[in-house]
């Protein structure tokens, strides 16, 4: 969503940096680093996902400063790697966008929080909900975790971004509704379709790549 310089107040910048640091610390502590070092396939998935996302995030449509539109792709990465590695992979992708000049370094924490961490955590929460419901059809995993999870994750990320911009007085509430929020359901559709299609393909051809998929539950 492209948070550019001078869009956040000092207090907002500090708040997003603190939340970013806490989530990053939790992600680092969650990863089983011993298993990660031994699993070359997992390493390739993490770094490969970062490169792909770094390329995809170069393609975006700008509406207004801070309100750019692009495919996030975090949902499928979260379902593949788990939320912690998805966060780390997404942040590596964000480093690529900083190097290529698409994002400012000073806004790394804010963009990482909105573009990477919020979608990953929302997807993780939906995946846990789907597990607790104990659905027996694999279509539940595809629909709720893939299609629905991706759409909801981008919607919540968009709302968080709008909240930051509104509370800082960058845009009025009416401007955000007219220029962005009224179109948010339309942004959810392609995000849900792209992620859902990729999850479906992985489930059919490479279910072992989906670390969050418990194949024993489904008939």
Looking at residue 61, its pLDDT comes to: 64
Report the CATH number at residue 52. Answer: 1.10.1760.20
Count: domains in the chain: 1
Report yes or no on 3 lying in a domain. Answer: no
41: containing domain: 10-217
Report yes or no on 33 lying in a domain. Answer: yes
A 10 A CB-CB count for 102 gives 18
Looking at residue 143, its pLDDT comes to: 93
Q: Model confidence at 127, in pLDDT bands (50, 70, 90)?
A: very high
Among residues 89, 94, 87, 134, the alpha carbon closest in space to that of 111 is found at 94
Mean pLDDT within 161-171: 83
Mean pLDDT within 32-37: 94
Looking at residue 67, its pLDDT comes to: 64
- d(CA 117, CA 15) in angstroms, rounded, equals 15
- d(CA 20, CA 211) in angstroms, rounded, equals 24
- d(CA 109, CA 178) in angstroms, rounded, equals 27
CB 123 within 8 A of CB 75: yes
How many residues comprise the chain? 219
Report yes or no on 4 lying in a domain. Answer: no
pLDDT at 87 over 80: yes
Looking at residue 130, its pLDDT comes to: 93
Overall pTM > 0.75: yes
Looking at residue 2, its pLDDT comes to: 60
Q: Longest Cα pair distance anywhere in the chain, in angstroms?
A: 53
Mean residue pLDDT across the chain: 88
Report yes or no on 2 lying in a domain. Answer: no
> Residue 73: left if φ>0, alpha if ψ -120 to 50, beta else—which one?
left
pLDDT in tens, 5-25: 667 788 888 999 999 999 999
Q: Model confidence at 184, in pLDDT bands (50, 70, 90)?
A: confident
Q: Which residues of 1-25 are buried (b: 16+ CB within 10 A; e: fewer)?
A: bbbbeebbeeebbebbbeebeebbe
Q: Model confidence at 66, in pLDDT bands (50, 70, 90)?
A: low
Report yes or no on 1 lying in a domain. Answer: no
Report yes or no on 210 lying in a domain. Answer: yes
Please report the sign of the dihedral spanned by the C-alpha atoms of residue 120, residue 27, residue 164, residue 55: negative
Share of the chain above pLDDT 90, in %: 58
Angle at 136 between CA 135 and CA 138, to 5 degrees: 95
């Amino acid at each position: 969503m492209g948070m550019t310089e001078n869009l956040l107040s000092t207090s907002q910048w500090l708040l997003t940096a603190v939340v970013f640091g806490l989530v990053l610390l939790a992600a680092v502590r969650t990863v089983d680093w011993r298993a990660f070092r031994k699993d070359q396939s997992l390493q390739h998935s993490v770094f490969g996902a970062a490169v792909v996302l770094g390329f995809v995030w170069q393609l975006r449509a700008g509406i207004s400063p801070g309100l750019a539109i692009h495919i996030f792709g975090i949902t499928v990465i979260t379902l593949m790697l788990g939320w912690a590695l998805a966060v780390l992979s997404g942040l590596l992708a964000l480093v690529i966008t900083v190097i290529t000049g698409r994002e400012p370094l000073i806004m790394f924490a804010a963009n990482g929080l909105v573009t990477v961490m919020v979608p990953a955590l929302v997807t993780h929460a939906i995946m846990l909900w789907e597990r607790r419901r104990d659905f027996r059809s694999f279509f539940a995993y595809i629909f709720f975790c893939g299609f629905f999870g991706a759409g909801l994750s981008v919607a919540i990320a968009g709302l968080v971004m709008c909240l930051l911009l509104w509370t800082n007085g960058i845009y009025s509430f009416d401007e955000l509704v007219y220029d962005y929020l009224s179109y948010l359901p339309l942004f959810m559709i392609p995000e849900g379709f792209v992620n859902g299609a990729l999850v479906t393909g992985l489930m059919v051809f490479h279910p072992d790549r989906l670390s969050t998929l418990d194949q024993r539950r489904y008939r």
